[in-house]
Each structure stands twice: as C-alpha cells, then as structure tokens.
C-alpha cells in the first residue's frame, strides 16, 4: 500500500532560524512552503524534505537524509568550500578516506552534520 506514495525526510531542529540559515545559506535550498506551526518544506530534485522545530532534535546516531548526487567528489568539494565538515568513520564495513568519502560496493558516500547534529549524506547510487 505505502509503496504507491512518495516519501520524504523529516528533519528536526531545536533552533529553526539557525537550521534555516544552514539549509538555505550553506546548502542552497529555497523553501517551497511554510506551515503555520513553523515547518518549512524544501524541494530537492523531484522530492521534498521537511525541516521542523522539535524539542527532540539532533543527535540521532543514524543518517536522516541522503542526497543522491552524480559526483560525490564534486559535492564534497563544493560543500567543504562552504564550510561543511565531513565525518570520519572507521567502523566495520564503513571506513572513510581523508576527505570523508567511503566506498561501499557500488556506492560512494560522505556524511556531515547540520547545526543540530542530524547526520546527512551525499552519495551515489548504482544506475538502475
């Protein structure tokens, strides 16, 4: 049933103004709409994500959103040029290089955090 419907990420923030500055100023998103409760919906390719205020924001130990890009190296370079710091991992099955990029079989990816500590990812996916 749910496979017939689109899905989008919802990203919590403890400080909507600070998060908005990061998502719009650093990552380059423009809001599609804002709701009365303060949530901001952003378009990203053919998908969307919602940024919303929550007292439970930040710090999840898992990736909350991934952007599938054509070129991870170029995305990392561009984001690093805007001050984004990429995470370094040395875990079983996940080891990043000095730039923060990991090779995972047919996938390549790099992870970074937003101002609340939410883990975000840019990566490639195999062509289907």
Strands across the sheet containing 63-68? 63-68, 119-123, 107-113, 101-104
Burial of residue 105 (number of CB atoms within 10 Å: 0-12, 13-18, 19+): exposed
Whole-structure pTM value = 0.88
pLDDT value at residue 128? 59
Closest residue by Cα to residue 54 from 30, 38, 32, 34: 38
CA distance 26 to 82: 6
Count CB-CB contacts under 10 A for residue 71: 12
Is CATH 3.10.180.10 correct for 2-55+63-123?
yes
pLDDT value at residue 6? 80
Q: What is the pLDDT of residues 31-62, one digit of tens each?
A: 999 988 789 999 999 999 999 999 888 766 88
Residues in the chain: 128
> 17-26 — which CB contacts under 8 Å span 24+ positions?
18/115, 19/51, 19/114, 19/115, 19/116, 20/51, 22/114, 22/115, 23/51, 23/114, 26/79, 26/82, 26/83, 26/84
> What phi, psi does 110 have (nearest 5°)?
-145, 145
* Torsion sign across C-alpha atoms 53, 59, 61, 67: positive
Q: What is the full per-residue pLDDT of the chain (128 aa) written as tens digits? A: 678 878 889 999 999 999 999 999 999 999 999 988 789 999 999 999 999 999 888 766 889 999 999 999 999 999 999 999 999 999 998 999 999 999 988 899 999 999 999 999 999 987 65
């Amino acid at each position: 049933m749910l496979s017939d419907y689109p899905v989008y990420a919802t990203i919590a923030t403890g400080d909507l103004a600070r998060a908005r500055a990061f998502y719009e100023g650093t990552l380059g998103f423009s809001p599609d709409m804002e709701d009365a409760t303060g949530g901001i919906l952003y378009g990203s390719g053919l998908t969307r994500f919602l940024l919303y205020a929550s007292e439970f924001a930040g710090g999840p130990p898992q990736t909350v959103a991934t952007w599938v890009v054509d070129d991870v190296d170029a995305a990392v370079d561009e984001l690093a040029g805007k001050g984004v710091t990429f995470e370094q991992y040395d875990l079983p099955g996940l080891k990043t290089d000095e730039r923060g990029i990991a090779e995972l079989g047919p996938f390549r990816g790099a992870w970074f955090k937003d101002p609340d500590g939410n883990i975000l990812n840019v990566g490639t996916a195999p062509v289907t």
